[in-house]
Structure 1
Amino acid sequence: MENSVIIVVAFVAYFVLVLALGLYHKRDISTQEDFSVAGRNVSFWPLVGTVVGTNIGGGTLIAVTAGAYETGLSAAVPFLSAYFFIMIWALLFVRYINRIRQFTLPDFFALRFGERVRVPSAIFTMSRSIILTGMQILAMGGVMSVVIGWPLELSMVVSTVVTVVYCLMGGMRSVIVTDGLQTVLQTLGPVVLLVLLFAQVGTAPITAPSVPDTWSISATGWGVFFGLVAASGPYYFIYQPMWQRTYAAKDEDTAYRGMTIGTILSFFSLVLPILIGVLARDVVPGNVDPAQALPHLYLQEMPTWAGALFAVSLVGSIMSVLDSMVLDATANFVRDIYQKRMGVVDEVKLVRAGRVCTVVVCAVGLAMAFTITDLGQLFVLGNALATGGLFVVAVAAWASRRATATGAWSAIVLGGGATVAVAAASWLLRGDPAVGFFGITPVYAAFIVGALALIVGSLISSPAPEEDPDSTLWSQQLARRRAK
């Protein structure tokens, strides 16, 4: 009983601190720029903290630990490929993205192809954010149900309410500050756990694992491997939370250094749950659900103080992604639909709309969490939906002068539609929205359909007056930078 009280007190104290930070930063929110991109004044260390906190969430820690517990290194393929693509994106494009001073990813598409592409691109970007909101709510509810003993459904509702309140108050300003705190805690917790596990079982599970192919990155098969890379990797060229943070950085150099260092630290942070999952095989009883392996280690096998640290660090890591997904979708609605398509310019109305949308996004994410209970499915499905409609258009914006607005619009609608169609059919017929048919996963279908739509649409149409290839063409931006 005493142990439970200590854990609950630590858990509650953390939430009180987060809510206090949100209340403190509420006074700084007067414009859409304050709410969505933190006033464009984020310095290096806060940027590093929010990058790591957004990349490494509680859903990631739980899912990778569970996957490593069952199969090994291959469980981390979607996340490792994500950080690889983020690093390429950061090295090539971050300076320019900061320079254009926008709010959302659809802003970038509209800059190149005109307003026609804004709404469809916003819809697919929001879809991913809402699905990942559901993923984080599910993860957070799972932790709360284990820590406090509440039913999963009640835990998810409570976690959603807490997130809504502190996002409503402080917007991106409070998110970035709390992400830094959460990054420290979510790193400290696994490090302590790993040290304790090594002390308990030694290094034998690492050097001589009991599961075959533990250290094979393609243990699930090369078809599945490349499917996961395709579904999770390319999306990170169009990962709007990182675009928003780049827009929020105070200058180009800060954006570049913060993104690259933050991504490197994210990569190394992923090593922790992989090692924990493999070591857990010698500690966690066989009747424990793999998805509960990490909570079980903290709460059943470790000292009380480690359990309390778990309650804080894991909940913090979940919140650091959950708040990002919520504000990501909110920015799309307020900027790309309410302001740009409906013509609202009053700052008070824009901030109010952002707060209303925050509540709606959390409510939809909660409904999603009740519907799909597999964290891995949510992650892959969310990435596939956004990647399918937007990746080929982003590549065209960076690399092609000949692509037209008609081609881009067709690629977004038809490519994204192909993802939805294949995922829905796979979900109904095979019980998994990410599997697909005959080796054609939803994201592969989207790449094929989207690329064909872009090519054909561009060939049969002429550039519209509002198109501006020079505004985004990467070779043009590189030449301008070299000329300075």
Structure 2
Amino acid sequence: MNILDTAVLILYFGVLIVVGVIGINKAKSEKDFLLAGSRLGYFSHVGCLAAVIIGGAATMGSTTLGYDFGISGFWFVTMMGLGIAALGLFIVNKISGYDVFTISQLLGKRFGEGTSLISAIVTAIYTLMIVVTQVIGMGSVIHVLLGWSVIPSMLIGGGIVLFYTILGGMWSITLTDIIQFAVMTIGVFFIMFPYSVSSVGGLTTLFNSVPENHLSLTNIGWERIFQYFLLYFFGLIVSQDIWQRVFTAKNQKVMKSSAVSAGIYSVFYALALSIVGMCALVVLPDLSESQSAFTSLALEILPPGMLGLVLASVCSALMSNASGALFASATLITNDIIKVYFKKDMKDKEVISTSRIVTLGLGVLSIIFSVWIQNILVALDMAYAILSGAIFVPLVLGLFWKRVTSTAAFSAIIASSIVILITFIIYGVTSTLPIIYGIITGVIFIVGVTLVNTNKHKKIDSDVEFSSSKRA
């Protein structure tokens, strides 16, 4: 990178820090700090949802899959888009009537404190792992582009996110997300995509230059498509960082329409980056690692200034995802654990200060884990497997089947989590089997325990009726 591109990237980081400071003045109450006052209209809400869905793993991962598998690489982010659209179409009307900030709060209202606590712990672990993936991604990008070593790069990228998240909470995150959405959109759709297609002589030339199987929508394989469905479709529906963004909308109509719109945006984003990956295959057929397809192609084809903006768009995707997940994890711990079990009478200012302390602690922890793991795909698969396998079934069945009992939901989350962790050890973190076994375990426990409890109550009721009639 030349001096102009480096200046663009550093200027962008500076803008995010300034916006984070501005967010302090807007976060006056607990609702302001946790949900940006629930005042967002359609356009700003779409931007925030799209920004939190599409992280750096989605941006660079889709390009990598396009390089390796062609157009079918779009399934990765498309499943995320379908998940957020399903949340808007089928779940929003079920949850918007509850006065809650988190998934575990909703489960607590439905099934009791025990279920709320265990779901808060499981979901907080998931969101923290999402932060880890994004910090690893930021470290990798800064390392490749600026030539700094990986660990300082992670510290700088993670530190900027931590700084503006602590300052203004959801208001700072929302303001930065709107900027990041604009930068992502311009960088990918209006710069990277057209420059990539132009570099290979147009779409027709591209399609004639890549292997024939790269034009098949199923080249990536049905097994992997199914894996993405299990991980990301289910995962997005019950993702705390997504839910918290959904609740920032000013009404249910905005929640629904913006969720569907963000889902559609994600599909187009996935298609554009899959084609960029195919262009990288034509321009740079001998890459030693396809994971560098996006950055390598950008360095090859983009003029000075444009390169800095496109790379800022990658950092945008990473930072928006990281800040949302970090704040979601802090909200779960503050709102559903500390406020419930340790400091029940916290005022708004105490909630905000406690949340900032928790955010700081989690941010430092996530950076430590990032330095330790240094593998973005391993961390991402583990995060979504735990969420999809352990939380999806109790939440969705609890919303749509009124007979589900508190004991059933609690035991299902515990049993599914144990099964997932055990099968991770047996089959590895890249296998789909832990998710499948987790979901099956959840269904068995939910249905089985609910039916046993129902039959037990019926027997008790019938015994009481029999005793009453006998006395009579």
TM-score w.r.t. the length of structure 1 is 0.89
- Which residue does the alignment assign to 2:436? 444
Matches within 5 A, 1:205-244: 206-244=206-244
Contact 2:85–2:262 (CA under 8 A) maintained in structure 1? no
Structure 2 residue aligned with 1:459? 451
**1:244 CA drift (Å):** 1.1
In the alignment, the residues of structure 2 paired with residue 29 and residue 314 of structure 1 have an alpha-carbon distance, to the nearest angstrom, of 28
Q: Deviations 1:175-230 (Å, cap 9, x if unpaired)?
A: 11111111111111122122112222122464235335213343343333323321
- The answer on whether the counterparts of 1:209 and 1:278 sit within 8 Å (CA) in structure 2 is no
Q: Specify the code of the residue in structure 1 equivalent to 2:270.
A: L
- Is the Cα contact below 8 Å between 2:83 and 2:232 reproduced in 1? no
Question: Contact 2:187–2:310 (CA<8 Å) still a contact in 1?
Answer: yes
Report 1:169-248 matches (<5 A). Answer: 169-191=167-189, 192-202=191-201, 203-204=203-204, 206-248=206-248
Query: 1:101 touches 1:247 (CA, 8 Å); kept in 2?
Result: no
In structure 2, relative to structure 1, the CA distance for the partners of 1:365 and 1:126 (3 Å cut) is same
The SS at the match of 1:72 is helix
Tell me the SS of whatever aligns to 2:188: helix
Structure 1 residues without counterparts, runs of 5 or longer: 428-432, 466-484
1:434 maps to 430
Pair member with larger Rg = 2
Instruction: Provide the C-alpha distance between the structure 2 equivalents of 1:273 and 1:347, rounded to a whole number of angstroms.
Output: 43
Counterpart residue number, 1:353 = 354
2:292 maps to which residue?
292
Paired residue type of 1:107? Q
Contact 2:80–2:266 (Cα < 8 Å) also in 1: no
User: What percentage of residue pairs aligned between the two structures are identical?
Assistant: 21
Query: Which residue number in structure 2 is paired with residue 472 of structure 1?
Result: none
> Which residue is equivalent to 2:10?
12
Structure 2 unaligned regions, length at least 5: 458-472
Alpha-carbon distance in structure 1 between the residues aligned to 2:196 and 2:215: 19
Alignment partner, residue 470 of structure 2? none
Shift of 1:158: 0.9
Structure with the bigger percentage of helix:
2
What TM-score comes out, normalization by structure 2 length?
Answer: 0.91
Q: What's the CA shift for 1:343?
A: 3.8
Which residue pairs with 1:303 in the alignment?
A: 303
RMSD: 2.1
Kindly state the Cα deviation for residue 372 of structure 1 after the two structures are TM-superposed.
3.4
Q: Secondary structure at the match of 1:67?
A: helix
Query: Residue in 2 aligned with 1:422?
Result: 423
| Distance in 1 separating the partners of 2:97 and 2:46 | 19
1:339-418 correspondence runs (5 A): 339-344=339-344, 345-418=346-419
Is the 1:403–1:455 Cα contact (8 Å) retained in structure 2?
yes
Secondary structure class of the residue paired with 1:335: helix
Aligned to 1:332: 332
C-alpha separation between the residues in 1 aligned to 2:261 and 2:414?
35
Measure the CA separation in 1 of the matches of 2:232 and 2:310: 28
Report 1:1-80 matches (<5 A): 4-80=2-78
SS in 1 for 2:283: coil
> 3-state SS of the aligned residue for 1:248?
coil
SS for the counterpart of 1:71 is helix
Contact 1:10 1:311 in 2 (8 A): no
Contact 2:196-2:301 within 8 A present in 1 as well: no
2:365 is paired with a residue of what secondary structure?
Answer: helix
Residue identity in the other structure for 2:446: L
Q: Once the 2 structures are TM-superposed, how far is the Cα of residue 58 of structure 1 from its aligned partner? A: 1.9
**Count of paired positions:** 454
The AA in structure 1 aligned to 2:198 is: A
List per-residue Cα deviations over 1:329-349 (Å, max 9, x = no partner): 111111110112324323222
Secondary structure (helix, strand or coil) at the match of 2:453 reads coil
1:84-233 matches, within 5 Å, as 84-191=82-189, 192-202=191-201, 203-204=203-204, 206-233=206-233
